[in-house]
Chains A and B, each alone.
Chain A
Amino acid sequence: MSSRSLRAVARHLSRAEAEAICKRVLEFSTADECRVTINSGVRANTRFAVNQISTAGDNYNAAVSIRAVFGKKVANVTVNRLDEAALRDAVQNAERIAKLAPDDPELLPELGPQTYQDAVVWNDATASLEPDARADAVRQITERARAAGLVSTGYLEAQAQAFAIANSKGLFAYQRSTGVAFTTTVRTEDGQGSGWAGASDNDFTRIDPRQLAERAIEKARRSVNAAAIEPGRYTVVLEPTAAANLIQLIGGALNARNADEGRSFFSKAGGGNKIGEKVVDERVTLYSNPLDPRVPANTVNGDGSPVGATTWIENGVVKNLAYDRFWAQRTGKQQSSTGGTLAMNGGNETVESMIASTQRGLLVTRFWYIRGVDPRTILFTGLTRDGTFLIENGRVTRPVKNLRYNESPIFMLNNLLAMGRPERVSASESGGPGQAIMIPAMKVRDFNFTSTSDAI
């Protein structure tokens, strides 16, 4: 290999380029075992505020991580310079640090060659979303908002990434993925109304900017002159984004080791974990499946192990927890992970039918500033935002001021009244593509609101 960078003009490393870098790194390695992972690709974005684009840009990066192992000693080094000298330095640095590390008694040998299912997560339209096309998509929102006398703000981000992994035992995998998110918040000029709409997908052509504009504009108009209501326990109709904001929190608590060690909601009183116990309503099934075309993901994990479909909660009963390789071996279980996706089954209701069957309750568009309060119960706090409405006698009657909740998705799924059809949503607080998540709208009783907010 010459000292010239291996990176071509392409906006992510090709399989051949990635394989060549992996091969070179492994040749440099003198460690007992060596693993190389490469993340390359582009993040392109356009941001708008006050009905015009405020910033936009794209950046390309390719980072090579080298994991060197001597006996039970291990260290990781990551660099984003791909020339031969930099890669050689990085290998030497990883090996030097690894030799200084103490033995890791939990270290497992690298995996040999694996078989992976073909991922279905790449989309050409998303990968080729250039500045002009992004600006045109943004204009479909800004011009509608301006024509309506409203103020639009929002964000469009498209990612096209390639992941490669190789090790000294002959394992190699290469997969490409795309992701896109488009969100907008439309406010009235006097700041008295605010509405949000958003979508996330792997395929940009499945996102309709006009529909986003119309939803956010309608919410902004309807949310003007919000009235304060008393905090307390309410029946809520959660639009799919709001439901996903909370349900995705269960994903972070699924760790089997934490449960076995007594520091998780999934810990069992007296010892062990709650696998086999019913923890939520029996209509609830929660799963991850990287091959589901609605929420696809890569089928290879960061350590090179294959990712398959896993059901976490089935008919309300804990079916699986996430086991890394070590904990799976220690406990005699199968390795499992969410692989960056989470989906829930649903029902046949619509948001409209759930509203129609509600005597008194609240319709929630999305939640904000969601932070953990008590891991013993997966209790989180946060607020409603950008469209909260009172439901009376089966119809939405008026906007209400936002409310703070202290609630757990576990409590929520025990108070489940009805579910809609699952939808892919943009549930990342920051508006980026985030994890692929598909959750139904749901109606829940006794949702615990603890105070009101004047924020619009």
Chain B
Amino acid sequence: MSTSRRDFLRSSAAAAAAASLLTADRAQAAALEARQPLWSGDSDHRELAMRAIDAARAAGASYADCRISSARSQNIGTRERRVTNIGDNETFGFGVRVMVEGTWGFAASSELSADEVARVARQAVAQARANRRAMVKPLELAPIHHPPVPNGQWRSPARIDPFSVAIEDKVAYLMDANAAALAAGARFVNSQMFFLKDEKTFASTEGTVTQQTIFRAQPGMTVTMVSADNRDFQTRQSTDIQPKGLGYEHVLDSNMKAHAARWVEEARQKLSAKPVEVGRYDLILHPTHLWLTIHEAIAHPTELDRAYGFEANYAGTSFLAPPEQFLGKFRYGPDFMNVVADRSAPGSLSACGWDDEGVAPESFHIIKNGIFVDYQTTREQAMWLDWWYKSQNMPTRSHGCSYAQTWADVQFQRMPNVNLMPGERDLVWEDLIAATENGIAIVGDGSFSIDQQRYNAQFGGQLFYEVKNGKITGMLKDVAYQIRTPEFWNAMDMIGGQRSYELGGAFGDGKGQPSQSNAVSHGCPPTRHKQVNVINTGRQA
């Protein structure tokens, strides 16, 4: 990391140049994502991982895997003209998962030494043996669909390692953006940037050894306006900038300074916006908003562990259960609705070379022409759908949906990027508005809540526009819409084309016990949904 002003200027220039390259050449970014040796890794890690799985095997494990991870994160927070936080965190450790006579065991430690990896491996075996007391049915793993990868390497398509950029540079960026917001009249402005670099080694008893370097970046700003009488305040969050699986170039591309005045003006307009009248409206949903609805009402209910009740005590089950009543039979939405899971889009948050079971992820349809056709699976879960895959002449294999948030957590089923594919017609946001007589157009994600089987949901947003006779006629406030999932998607009657497709996403999607976070993107175009129930959330204290 540079420490001098000269170095700072040099790194800024390099960053800008690299970022422009990224913008100019997406194909090059995609090429970077290919499995090529970009991180030399640490040969000691490979050796220690092998020692862990050998120790597990010697203690009686029929299968074992070990993940060693060194994750560095950095968070810079500001408000108005001051820095509120500069934090730089590193966490390092390893986790060993074992299978003993059909039960799982897991243990982890932050002390990476030859003795400790062996001890932890034996402890994981002891955990598995203890768990046998409550075993009913032994688990099985589906085979992986590719030969073991003995020396796999993958790296996020990041052009600029955020940790190579001077703190001064980052602070200056946020301060410039804050100054622009204050100059535009913001009463309060908070801005921040967060970065993650996770370097992890995976090894299993099946001969797979992979090393991956994953980058994620999230810049953001919130402006607040307060009414003159102190009775009202409204905020605008920069949800048009979404988190990405990229490096510092994502911050530079976001150019918060250039957008700050607009966000201030939009927050100001919210103070005087017209309260929405409750009723049913045609909703036009921008990709910066719709990604979250997809996340809650499509991506989560199509997780197979939910369908089988494994999340019943926390994240919930799914209305798509039991699978035999829904697979290939359930109409999720109109014929033009196609939902595809993938981890291939450059810069998407869940992109990776292999999941945390050493499975190379594959793209697959979850909804095809409006019909629900598949769940997200891990190796253990794929076996549960053996009957379905056989009936479809498909191999029974994991879709590569295993992930653990850190070395200290056991891996389990987490969603890949789940995307609503664009329509065939070249429609954009403005086309959907022009085609609407009486509706509300919603931009940006806001509050969100959905029941434990993913039927009933309520969503807010950042900006709400009244649409009359094909035109935006003003801004509304206190808007939230409530849906029942199947009706909502079947009420979708317009969808944008490829040109209007964007990636949104979440850094901290929670699930599992202990609760773990997963980062995931959702690509989508804008959509229109007929006659959705809208409520007014404004009340007097």
Contacts and interface: CB of A to CB of B under 8 A. Distances in A.
A252 interface: no
Contacts of B136: 50-52, 146
A429 B95 CA distance: 26
Contacts of B233: 262-263, 267, 375-376
Given A93-B88, A101-B86, A451-B456, A56 B451 contact: no
Given A80-B92, A430-B515, A455-B316, A369 B3 contact: no
A138 B134 contact: yes
B330 interface: no
Interface size class of A (residues with CB under 8 A): 35 or more
Interface string A202-237: 000000000000000000000000000000000000
A59 B109 contact: yes
Given A59-B93, A60-B108, A369-B452, 11 more contacts: A43-B408, A50-B309, A55-B104, A59-B108, A77-B90, A187-B317, A262-B233, A381-B447, A381-B537, A411-B539, A451-B456
Q: When A and B form their complex, which 4 residue pairs have the shortest distance between CB atoms, in order from nearest? A: A57-B106, A453-B456, A455-B453, A131-B130
Given A410-B541, A430-B314, A454-B319, A52 B135 contact: yes
19 contacts: A45-B514, A49-B313, A55-B106, A61-B408, A81-B90, A93-B88, A138-B134, A151-B312, A155-B513, A187-B312, A369-B451, A372-B447, A379-B537, A404-B449, A406-B535, A431-B313, A450-B535, A451-B482, A455-B452
B87 to A, nearest CB: 5
Identify the interface centre among A47, A154, A194: most chain B CB within 10 Å of its CB: A47
Given A57-B105, A455-B456, A80 B91 contact: yes
Contacts of A57: 95, 105-108, 124, 127, 410
A263 B533 CA distance: 29
A74 B134 CA distance: 51
A203 B194 CA distance: 37
B479 to A, nearest CB: 11
Interface string A128-147: 00111011101100100010
Contact of B90 (A62, A79, A194): A79
A7 B111 contact: yes
A227 B514 CA distance: 33
B541 A265 contact: yes
B85 A76 contact: yes
A374 interface: yes
B392 interface: no
B230 interface: yes
Interface size class of B (residues with CB under 8 A): 35 or more
A396 interface: no
A105 interface: yes
Given A50-B310, A61-B408, A155-B513, A77 B89 contact: yes
A183 B106 contact: no
B15 interface: no
A77 B352 CA distance: 28
B364 interface: no
B451 A430 contact: no
Interface of A: 5, 7, 43, 45-63, 74-81, 90, 93-94, 96-102, 104-106, 130-132, 134-136, 138-139, 142, 146, 151, 153-155, 157, 183-185, 187, 191, 194, 196, 261-263, 265, 267-271, 368-377, 379, 381-383, 385, 402, 404, 406, 408, 410-411, 429-432, 450-456
Contacts of B410: 55, 57
A432 B540 CA distance: 34
B63 to A, nearest CB: 14
Nearest to B450: A369
Contact of A385 (B107, B175, B452): B452
Contacts of B450: 369
B455 interface: yes
B131 A56 contact: yes
Given A60-B110, A369-B449, A430-B515, A52 B137 contact: yes
Contacts of A155: 313-314, 513-514
A82 to B, nearest CB: 8
A430 B539 contact: no
B173 interface: no
A183 B450 CA distance: 21
Contact of B455 (A134, A136, A372, A453): A453
A211 B445 CA distance: 42
Contacts of A456: 453
A76 B131 CA distance: 40
Contact of B131 (A53, A185, A370, A371): A53
Contacts of B83: 101-102, 104
Contacts of B130: 56, 130-132, 134-135
Contacts of B310: 49-50, 54, 153
Identify the interface centre among B111, B135, B316, B541: most chain A CB within 10 Å of its CB: B541
Contacts of B229: 269-270
B329 interface: no
Interface stretch (B163-171, B207-215, B495-503): B163-171
A370 B88 contact: no
A77 B458 CA distance: 39
Identify the interface centre among B314, B480, B484: most chain A CB within 10 Å of its CB: B314
Identify the interface centre among B87, B510, B513: most chain A CB within 10 Å of its CB: B513
B232 interface: yes
Contacts of B513: 45, 47, 155, 157, 430-432
B232 to A, nearest CB: 7
Contact of A100 (B168, B482, B541): B168
A105 B82 contact: yes
Contacts of A74: 86
Contacts of A271: 230
